Amino acid sequence: MTRSKEASEIRPIVVTGSAKLLASGRSEPLDRAIPAEVPVSLTYNGLSHVVMMASPAHLRDFVIGFSLTEGILSSVDQLLTLRIENTDKGILLNAEIPEEIYKDLVARRRNIVGQTGCGLCGLIELEQVARPLPPIVEAPRISQTAATHAVAALADWQPLNAETGAVHAAAFADESGAVQLAREDVGRHNALDKLIGAMAEAQLDPATGFVVLSSRCSYELVQKAIAARIPALVTISAPTELAVDMAKEGALTLIALARPDSMLCLHDPFDVMA
């Protein structure tokens, strides 16, 4: 077993021998890049906790972000060590955390089995879906102009999606709309976890900006944003009803269907978008 490659080494898989089918009935040979999607198993102190389907890049960011948004860890410093191993069945992420935190995790343990686009599968207790989180208390630093700038810049931070057309992105922008950091993954919730982990490592204060997502706004994205104390979320596609309800409960500024010429303000608790 070897340590997983750094993000700069991860490349899309190029499929040779595929064909482009034309309306005329003819076909043309085509090499097409497709993104890798592999099982990623996360364990804490040897105890298996979750298996997710994810892009095999920025896995340390993923572990940190997932651990923070799930309330397992409260700071990066609590991740003592991380061992990343490749196997013929997937990637093993072996996290070592303080014993007292591990004991608390065991006491409230839940089983989660994630699929691309789904973070719900395998929950033992339904009430854990909408776990209580303290609401946002300070107005976010965002404006319509800043949101428009960030949305327009997002494509420049999606190199993997540019090659494959099949990968989500999450980006953190400052109050002017300038993107500071971004992460990609086949799963939208994984992309956000990776971004949150990278922000924590870089000591970027979430209150100084907002997050832009290349996906629809589902409930788990709102929940992760509030857990990470991200005060505003801008998404390219529409939200679900539960996502909007959670945003209202958590005082999260929620913007959806963001386009260069318009966007939909779903919740603006601090009247910053007026």
Catalytically annotated residues: 118
* Alpha-carbon torsion (189, 250, 248, 246), positive or negative: positive
CA distances from 225 to 57, 106, 208 (A): 21, 25, 14
**Burial of 191 from C-beta contacts in 10 A (0-12 / 13-18 / 19+):** buried
| Identity of the residue numbered 247 | A
Provide CB contacts within 8 A for 270, sequence distance 6+.
138, 139, 140, 251, 253
Task: Report whether 157 contacts 194 (CB < 8 A).
Answer: no
